A and B are shown apart, each in its own frame.
Chain A
Amino acid sequence: MSSASEPVVGRSRSFLAAKRHRTVRKNSRRIYSTYRDHQQGSSDEERGDNKEVDSNDPEEMFQNIQFQKEIIANIRSRPWPMRRKLKVLKQAREIVLKYEGQLTRTRGYQTAGADLLKKLYRVLYNIVVTFIPWEVRIKKIESHFGSGVASYFIFLRWLFGINIVLTIMTGSFVVLPELLAGAPFGTTRSKTIPKEHLASAQDLDTIWSLGGYLQYSVLFYGYYGSVRKIGSAGYRLPLAYFLVGMAVFAYSFIILLRKMAKNSRLSLASASDENFTFCWRVFCAWDYLIGNPEAAECKGAAIVNNIREAIVEEQEKKKDTSLAVLISLRILANILVLLSLAGSIYIIYFVVDRSQKLEQEKPELTLWEKNEVSVVVSLITMIAPSAFELVAQLEMYHPRTSLRFQLARVLVLYLGNLYSLIIALLDKVNSMSSAPHASSSNWTNTSSTISSLSSQLSRISVSEHHNSTMATISTAINFIHNRSSLVTAYNQTIPFEKNARSQQDQCWETYVGQEMLKLSIIDMIFTVASILLIDFIRGLVVRYLSDCCCWDLESKFPEYGEFKIAENVLHLIYNQGMIWMGAFFSPCLPAFNVLKLIGLMYLRSWAVLTCNVPHQQVFRASRSNNFYLAMLLFMLFLCMLPTIFAIVRYRPSEHCGPFSGQEKIYDIISDTVASDFPLWFSKVMSYITSPVVVLPAVLLLFMLIYYLQAIARSLKFTNNQLRIQLQTERTEDKKKVFQMAAARLQVPEASADKNPDQQENDIPSQEGSIHTSSPQQNGSVSNIQSPINRSNSVRTISQSASGADLNEERVSGFVRSPGVIVLPKHQVEPISNRPRHFIGGRSGSCRSKSCHHMAYNPPSGLSNAIHTDPLYRKTIRSLHPVEAAGIIAAQNYGRHRGPTTRYVFVNEHRPRKKLLCSTTRIPRHYLLEEPTEILELYPRNIKHYTPRTIHQQQPPRSHTAQQLIKEEEETGKDRKRTSLGKSLRPCSLPDHHHQAHFYIGERLDSFRESQRAGYEMQEDDEEEAGKEGIDWGHFNLPSPSQTSIKEKESFHTQRHPVHSPRRQYQSPTRARHMGSQLKPKLKGQLETHLTESDSASIASSSDQQNSSTDQYIQVIHSKERHVRSDVRQEKVSKKKHKTNFDLNCTESNDLICSNV
């Protein structure tokens, strides 16, 4: 249709344009068809054809070329065999070449340039690929062990890259300048090894503990000179040192965040909650990279386990195995883990403390005493994870969960270790930084001592205010020390050497750096040892001793070492954390780490290839990528804190390092700004750093953050909506397929009642999607509405296309096979938006087996039955009748446009009720029957009525109007109430609820009146009244006016209250029906039509628009009592109604359109 209209439009605009348009279209089609035909193998003609597409229209030619270029660009992503790709490529290139020459010259140059660029890019890419380190090695590992193991090495390589950059930063800006231009070794005190240490400076154990020459080298903070400018160029080393120290953190942060952002962008597609557990386990199970037969075997076993596991899980979703035992076990396990964590932290603290004491007490330390701290820390980091693993077996979690727990615990352990270490160190630093003060006061002359003392005094007085930290106390002690030493300073003369020695020894920054480097080294040694011992030796033993052993070493006890990806990655993260922590105090630490990582890379890859088997439970590589990175980020942040704290909190050592003599390390910035920059700059800086600027800036930042967050939230929201829309769309697709499937089925009519159970089984699952989505969207009805609106139109179209034939076919579908029965039901959906509920209601009634009777009357010979059975199912009852009614009404309404089809709603009540019918109402009945077009009854309110009357013909209106007036007299009060509710269309649940209560009061009165009038049994009446309310709902529903719908809602929500007036009204109708000739007819048909499927009948009835049929919908109330209709039910129904009614409105509109 659109293709037909397009040329017409084009012609009307301009003939020429239209012609061109068409030819372009034609060409493009031809070009595309080339490829389509290629698939069938005949391309030669097309090619010839293509060459003939030789017109002088440059626009067309350009288009053609564009197409060809597109093809060339995308050809590699087409799943064709190479030969065809070659052919197509050649052909496309020919065309491009041929025509491009005919186009302007510049275009030709452009493309030539682009080609050249592309080639260059490709060459560059090829070169770059060769320079990616260890690419081959990783590929090899990947091809043996799969992507999981490879992800560890890729992560390692990435860390290696980061460390390279960090090394370059520190190396080129700090270490090299110091080496080249700084004061040479031995010239200043901080660069000289003290005499009494000189003898042992080259001893192995001194070197080993990073003392001696190493201590006085560029490795550590203490070596760097504090001269402001060094060399002839005046390089500001202290400033550079500080800036680089900060830049290390900044760079790490930026690179990490960027990587994470990139990863999360990549994983966006998988962000949805959808879970295809089984499909993934089967379709994506195999890792095609695995080339090693052993690994393949492993993987195969893992897949089998995985699949079995999933099946078992599915089979018994809820399996409660002695919950108490399990819980107590888990509690025990957690207690154990916590204990071991606390223990490890305590041990570290204890060891650091002890080493400190030992250093003070003993002049000479043994090797063990020197390395105690790092050895203990490394041991703990090695042993504790295995212990955790043992503990985790107690817990009996799902393997994946236990892996998560394990990771979290190990991370906490690592962090705890690092933190307890650094805290202990800083504690030591604290005591150290107090000591130099004592000696420094001796060394410096009195005046400076006094000045420093006064400054300290002021500092202390300030800090006294917030004397919460331990440090403050130490400063206070410091102060006291100071004073006492001051006293002694006047009369004491202490040998210079001794002073100097203590000063140099007390360089706390160097000390921290030493400890970190030591820790890193020991960690490396332990890693190597563990690889050799645990993996290699074990592998050797298992391989060569398995023959001479009584049990199978390979599969039983020692086995081969597993490569535990997650733990290894965590270890890398831990290692990197140490580097970050120590980098400021030991500028060469990144360089050392680079070496370490290189070694680790080779060793690990060798070990993996020779003696490891992949972990059974492979942590999903791609998903965990960001998980690793997040942990790394966490680590970075936590490792930065102590460093920053030390920088901010502590006074730099007096006699070593680039910041000696400063009050705080960061003073270097303000000093530089003050001294080395022009005056205006420092002025500007002072302005910028003043609160006037800083506060607004901070505020602005906050606002920005808030704003961005709001945007993110709204995007999330839209995202969600889109997803829901997609879901609905998908269900629509499903339905469409159902329709098609149903259309294929042809069988004579039959009843669906025979297999209600199956329907019940199927329907809920299919309903699921919409039902679940609608409650979520309670607040925003529009969401649902929009997709459904659209779907509506689709449905109606399909409906009209399939025509009346479908109807029969559908009906027939029921009979054929029980399995198919669901399909026709869905077929019904296009007609009415509410089908699900309707079906639900229907099935509910079927379930009860008390299907009551439907009324119905098919003059055309087609047997249609519309059956609403609102009353009997406890849960469903409250919902479905209304909706069913909605369907009917909607159809009804739509049908009025076309040839006459009438519905008569018949309410059949208990016989005793029939007696109550009053003659005055009979005209009403006629009213219903006679006007062929209209069926809607509007007993409630004239207001509601009016909109409808516009569409409807006059006679019924007048009749009903009269009736309505009568009604109004009867229920005047009520109507006022309802009108109140009606006026606001988007009324919320609470509103209804409120109204409900209102009504109850009101209605009860009238109810009693009515009782007085002759009804018996209040309970019964109430119930019935409720039912009647529902019935009336049917009548109201079709109306396009929303107010009426609203009213209906209110009615439904509270059936009980509404009943009395309505009941009065209705019972006459009922009676009327009974009395009239219809009654026998209905009765006669009741039995026959009971067998029919209701849904089918609805479908058919809607299809029969051209046949003039009177359809009777008889709603029959049973005598069952649902005295306890739950409030819950009501609530649910309210919700449903709300959405449903809106939908109904739109639906009816759509129907009208389609009919017109």
Chain B
Amino acid sequence: MGTTASQLAKDSLSEYQELTFLTKQEILLAHRRFTELLERDERKNLNSRVPMEIIHTLPELKSNPFKTRICQVFSTSEDRDGSLTFEDFLDLLSAFSDSATLEIKSHYAFRIFDFDDDGTLDERDLEKLVNCLTGETEDTRLNDEEMKQLINNILDESDIDKDGTVNLSEFQHVISRSPDFVSSFKIVL
């Protein structure tokens, strides 16, 4: 651990602690795990990106149905390829950490579920979301009728302003009532 610590400058480490919900150990661990994903010659450079496909090999993300969306949401890449820098990676871990607030978690959850990035969850988003959850195989997939009813029910419950979509505040309202969202919206390295 000492070797990795030396790679992260002390002040940036403390800054990261300031800016994320992570502890020092977690940041160091994250750094180690992250550098493992990088090519050897890129390891010195803090701004080098790891492409999405490699991020997905992390066991913590491997079986997550939203892994693509997660990478896309946290990526600051210009060409929207979902590649992450170390800082993006820290952002990701911070949002998914134990001590992150409900607000920030629900914010990111919303963005993850918002597949077309238009700021609201409309029917297509919801459909994609459900498909992600159920998987694409024929026997697990919901048929059209079920899907329609499910989406209608979801909108019935959450769409307060009846505009046919779920916006962020509506989403957060629903999520904040959920007993176990905070405990399950976590990723631990």
Q: List residues of A whose CB falls within 8 A of some B CB.
A: 72, 75-79, 81-83, 85-86, 89, 119, 122, 125-126, 129-130, 139, 142-143, 146-147, 151, 267, 269-270, 272, 274, 276-280, 282-293, 295-297, 300-301, 303-304, 307-308, 310-311, 314-315, 620-623, 730, 733-734, 737-738, 741
Contact = CB atoms under 8 A, between A and B. Distances in A.
Interface string B162-177: 1100000001001111
A89 B11 CA distance: 13
29 contacts: A79-B108, A81-B74, A81-B88, A89-B18, A143-B188, A147-B183, A147-B184, A151-B183, A269-B176, A270-B177, A276-B157, A279-B158, A280-B174, A280-B181, A282-B150, A283-B171, A286-B184, A288-B187, A289-B187, A296-B63, A303-B134, A304-B135, A307-B133, A307-B142, A307-B150, A621-B180, A622-B180, A733-B161, A734-B162
Given A129-B25, A270-B177, A737 B161 contact: yes
Contacts of B179: 267, 270, 620, 622-623
Contact of A282 (B20, B76, B133): B133
Interface string B64-99: 111000000010100000000001101100111000
Nearest to A270: B179
B147 to A, nearest CB: 9
A300 B15 CA distance: 38
B63 A292 contact: yes
A314 B149 contact: yes
A622 B101 CA distance: 16
Contact of B63 (A81, A290, A734): A290
B54 interface: no
In this complex, the member of B15, B111, B140, B184 whose beta carbon has the largest number of chain A beta carbons within 10 angstroms is B184
A307 B188 CA distance: 27
A283 B161 contact: no
B66 to A, nearest CB: 7
B23 to A, nearest CB: 5
Given A283-B175, A733-B161, A146 B150 contact: no
B134 A89 contact: no
Contacts of A76: 18-21, 94
Question: Nearest 5 CB-CB pairs, A to B?
Answer: A296-B63, A82-B87, A737-B161, A278-B153, A287-B184
A727 to B, nearest CB: 11
Nearest to A618: B180
Contact of B180 (A142, A293, A303, A620): A620
A311 B60 contact: no
Nearest to A76: B19
A147 B174 CA distance: 20
B184 A284 contact: yes
B103 interface: yes
Given A86-B19, A89-B18, A146-B184, 18 more contacts: A76-B19, A81-B76, A82-B88, A82-B91, A89-B15, A122-B17, A129-B25, A269-B176, A276-B158, A276-B174, A279-B157, A282-B129, A284-B185, A288-B187, A289-B184, A300-B133, A304-B142, A622-B183
B180 A288 contact: no
B185 A288 contact: yes
A738 B104 CA distance: 30
Contacts of B135: 300, 304
Nearest to B109: A283
Interface in B133-156: 133-135, 140, 142, 146, 149-150, 153-154, 156
Nearest to B133: A303
Nearest to B158: A279
A708 to B, nearest CB: 27
Contacts of B100: 77
A139 B186 CA distance: 10
- Which DSSP category, helix, strand, loop or mixed, fits chain A's interface? helix
A288 B96 contact: yes
B146 A737 contact: no
Nearest to B24: A126
B6 interface: no
Q: Chain B contact residues (Cβ within 8 angstroms of A): what range? A: 35 or more
Contacts, number: 199
Contact of A300 (B65, B95, B187): B65
B146 A308 contact: yes
B87 to A, nearest CB: 4
Contacts of B15: 86, 89
A289 B163 contact: no
Contacts of A297: 63
B21 A126 contact: no
A387 B188 CA distance: 38
A289 B188 contact: yes
B177 A291 contact: no
A142 B171 CA distance: 26
Contacts of A733: 160-161
A303 B21 CA distance: 29
Contacts of A81: 74, 76, 87-88, 91
Nearest to A285: B133
Nearest to B111: A79
A152 to B, nearest CB: 13
Contacts of B130: 282, 307
The residue among A280, A292, A741 with the most chain B CB atoms within 10 A of its own CB is A280
Contacts of A301: 140
B124 interface: no
A267 B177 CA distance: 9
A351 to B, nearest CB: 43
B115 interface: no
A621 B60 CA distance: 20
Contacts of B20: 76, 82
Contacts of B178: 270, 276, 279-280, 283-284
B170 to A, nearest CB: 9
Nearest to B96: A288
A287 B20 CA distance: 22
A143 B60 CA distance: 7
A904 to B, nearest CB: 37
Interface in B36-80: 59-66, 74, 76
A566 to B, nearest CB: 15
Contact of B76 (A83, A142, A283, A620): A83
Nearest to A266: B182
B37 to A, nearest CB: 16
Contacts of A734: 160-162
A83 B47 CA distance: 11
Contacts of B163: 737, 741
A314 B158 CA distance: 16
B134 A288 contact: no
Contacts of A119: 14
B19 A75 contact: yes
B169 to A, nearest CB: 10
A622 B102 CA distance: 14
Contact of A276 (B21, B91, B177): B177
B78 to A, nearest CB: 12
A622 B177 CA distance: 12
B140 A147 contact: no
Given A307-B130, A737-B161, A289 B186 contact: yes
Contacts of A277: 153, 157
A280 B157 CA distance: 10
A286 B64 contact: yes
Given A278-B154, A284-B178, A620-B180, A293 B171 contact: no
Nearest to B180: A622
B19 A82 contact: yes
A829 to B, nearest CB: 15
Contacts of B187: 143, 288-289
A286 B104 contact: no
Contacts of B185: 284, 288
A260 to B, nearest CB: 16
Given A129-B23, A269-B176, A288-B185, A293 B133 contact: no
Given A270-B177, A278-B150, A304-B140, A79 B107 contact: yes
A306 to B, nearest CB: 10
Given A82-B19, A291-B59, A291-B62, A622 B182 contact: yes
